[in-house]
Amino acid sequence: NILWYTELAFWLRLWKRSDEYGFLKDCPSQVLQQKLMDLDRAFRDCFDRSQPLKRLPVFKRKGTGEGIRFPQGFRIENRRIFLPKIGWVGFHKSREIEGAIKNITITRKADRWYASIQTEQDIEIQNHPCESEIGIDAGIKCFAAFSDGTLVEGVNSFRRHEDTLAREQRKLARKERGSQNWKKQKRKISRLHHTISNVRSDFLHKLSTETSQNHARVFVEGLQIRNMSASGRGTIEEPGRNVRAKSGLNKAILDQGWFEFRRQLDYKLFWKGGMLVEVNPRHTSQRCSCCGHTSKENRLSQAEFECIACGYEENADVNAAKNIKTVGQTEMVCEANHVGGRQQEPVGTREEVLPVAS
């Protein structure tokens, strides 16, 4: 049976009084309640049919996803935060706090602690200063190809640090588990993972900010990244093929951060009055952006495109980006016409029913 928040909150009071779990009294009560609310939400999302990818929550090992949320009782003065049962803590104020503070979340990444301050404020809907539209094709060798011909090389953060990470993990395997040297090496690996994440995040934020500032509409492929990066091992009855090659491809896909780039573009365009449009990626890499002819033979190689019908030559990724833009614009026009057609009936098609005198 699943215990929901009401039952868990009742048991929490009993656990605090027990000898075995009496240490829970050292933690602010509202922080524990927030954790129970998170668990309750995870259970409800699991049984929500509109979210088929959600799974039952599982126990996480120590050091994974550590974070606590304070809904009230905190204070902020200059560069200090007061947290209940912890006291005043100094912090680096990376930006000015705007709006009414709703809660503060404290998280740990590697050997650093971060305070995320959630605020509520009224934001006026803006009109984007530009009218430019652009299509983007995501790739591995080339992170992003724009329909205007711009090619952006990926930062490949994990691949750049992969050898160093493997070497440090071998050192960890040779140490006695739980010893002080083991803990030091564990922290060193955590810092390296944090560096890999920060390098990728910095690259994605800079590119998404520049793109959202210069273009009002951005068209991207509606890629199912979870399916693309699924394991190729298969099952015992049906073992996978080319598992090593598929594993390398999955690693390269996840190293790019396509989903995070798309997420950042979405909210940054929304803030500026722009729009992110996802289109069906089918045949965008095989269709000629000049004449529209679609054929596998149009792709001479991974990077070269030459139409067998009209002879048009272009970088394969740039050609795909142009097709993505065209498909997106076409879908938007069709949708606008469809909505407009439903709002107004054509003249002469409506039958008028007159009342019959009794």
CA gap 137, 301 in Å, rounded: 16
Out of 40, 133, 314, 317, which one is annotated catalytic? 317
Are the C-beta atoms of residues 178 and 151 closer than 8 Å to each other? no
The token pair at 325 is 């833009």
CA gap 204, 193 in Å, rounded: 17
- Burial class of residue 262 in the structure, from the number of CB atoms within 10 Å of its CB (0-12 exposed, 13-18 middle, 19+ buried): buried
Are the C-beta atoms of residues 265 and 220 closer than 8 Å to each other? yes
Which own/partner pairs from 315-320 qualify as long-range (CB within 8 Å, at least 24 positions apart)? 315/145, 315/149, 315/151, 316/285, 317/137, 317/139, 317/142, 317/145, 317/151, 318/137, 318/145, 318/146, 318/147, 318/149, 318/151, 319/285, 319/288, 319/289, 320/137, 320/145, 320/284, 320/285
Buried b (16+ CB within 10 A) or exposed e, 154-166: bbbbbeebeeebe
The vertex-349 CA angle with 346 and 354, nearest 5°, equals 125
Are the C-beta atoms of residues 145 and 139 closer than 8 Å to each other? yes
User: Is 317 known to be catalytic?
Assistant: yes
The token pair at 42 is 């995870």
CA gap 88, 62 in Å, rounded: 26
Out of 40, 137, 266, 314, which one is annotated catalytic? 137
Out of 40, 221, 255, 266, which one is annotated catalytic? 221
Q: Point out the residues that are catalytic.
A: 137, 221, 317
